[in-house]
Amino acid sequence: MIRVLLADDQRLFREALALLLSVQAEIDVVGEAADGAQAVELAARTSPDVVLMDLRMPVMDGVTATRRLRAAHPAVQVIALTTFDDDADVFPAIQAGAIGYLLKDASSQRLMEAIRAAVRGESVLEPGVAAKLVSRVAQLPPPVPAPLVAPLSGRELDVVRLLAGGRSNREIASALFLAEGTVKNHVTSALAKLGARDRTQAALRARELGLL
């Protein structure tokens, strides 16, 4: 079972999301929070695997809650939720430790893929959000990148370019005509060579190195 905590100040949306997830055999909704402070408190009590975190909440916003939650419970993955893909909190949320970023109008299938990916330690970003994230990084002063641990193979580079666009392992496998397990192996190898802890950091690192 995947233990999921919901954090959103809109009660109707929160209850609808809880109902949607409750029919999934693999999901156990362990709590609902109306603000970021409640989310941090409930996470300590319920030990969720994944927190679906709204970014705009009273008392404590989702970015602050994500930062505090990740510091106190590093094993808990946070998927940030927002209404607009041009939300100014996109970059801060990723910096705070969110592993994924979805729009609230995402399909139920996309949401489930994101939750499963988060449990596996994989980030899922909406394509529009991923593009804006890469664009934001491009505007930062150019860093002096550390050299790669080892050169990426041609196939690993193909995989990194697709994951930087927000593609899941399944989508990458379909695009490259590979088995999903093979893609997972390429991702693991690419992360190690890039010195990245997750897919989001790998995309940023690849951008720094001029690979995208």
Q: Residue holding tokens 């790998």?
A: 202
DSSP string, 40-66: HHHHHHH--SEEEEESS-SSS-HHHHH
CATH of the domain at 158: 1.10.10.10
Using one digit for the tens of pLDDT, what is the confidence trace for 119-163?
A: 998 877 776 666 666 666 556 565 555 667 678 999 999 999 999
Q: Are residues 25 and 91 in the same domain?
A: yes
Q: Are residues 115 and 194 in the same domain?
A: no
- Overall domain count for the chain: 2
Q: Are residues 197 and 122 in the same domain?
A: no
Q: What pLDDT, on a 0 to 100 scale, did the predictor assign at position 38?
A: 96
Q: What pLDDT, on a 0 to 100 scale, did the predictor assign at position 151?
A: 87
Report whether 43 contacts 76 (CB < 8 A).
yes
Residue 199: which of 163, 147, 157, 146 has the closest Cα?
163
Q: What pLDDT, on a 0 to 100 scale, did the predictor assign at position 103?
A: 86
Q: Are residues 23 and 124 in the same domain?
A: yes
Alpha helices (runs of H) in 81-198, residue ranges in sequence order: 90-96, 108-119, 127-139, 154-163, 169-176, 180-194
Q: Are residues 198 and 114 in the same domain?
A: no
Looking at residues 193-200, what average pLDDT do you find? 86
Query: Of 104, 136, 168, which one is at a domain's C-terminal end?
Result: 136
CATH of the domain at 35: 3.40.50.2300
Q: What pLDDT, on a 0 to 100 scale, did the predictor assign at position 86?
A: 62
Domain extent, residue 118, equals 2-136
Q: What pLDDT, on a 0 to 100 scale, did the predictor assign at position 180?
A: 93
Q: Residue holding tokens 């590093």?
A: 74
Query: Of 78, 101, 136, which one is at a domain's C-terminal end?
Result: 136
Q: What pLDDT, on a 0 to 100 scale, did the predictor assign at position 156?
A: 94
Q: Are residues 111 and 10 in the same domain?
A: yes
Q: Are residues 11 and 38 in the same domain?
A: yes
Report whether 90 contacts 129 (CB < 8 A).
yes
Q: What pLDDT, on a 0 to 100 scale, did the predictor assign at position 162?
A: 93
Q: Are residues 96 and 19 in the same domain?
A: yes
Q: Are residues 27 and 102 in the same domain?
A: yes
Using one digit for the tens of pLDDT, what is the confidence trace for 27-79?
A: 999 999 999 999 999 999 999 999 999 998 999 999 999 999 999 999 999 99
Using one digit for the tens of pLDDT, what is the confidence trace for 73-128?
A: 999 999 999 887 665 777 788 888 999 888 888 889 989 999 999 999 887 777 66
Rg for the chain (alpha carbons), in Å?
17
Using one digit for the tens of pLDDT, what is the confidence trace for 6-19?
A: 999 999 999 999 99
Query: Of 115, 136, 157, which one is at a domain's C-terminal end?
Result: 136
Q: What does each C-alpha distance from 62 to 78, 85, 174 come to in angstroms?
A: 10, 16, 34
Report whether 119 contacts 50 (CB < 8 A).
yes
Report whether 91 contacts 65 (CB < 8 A).
no
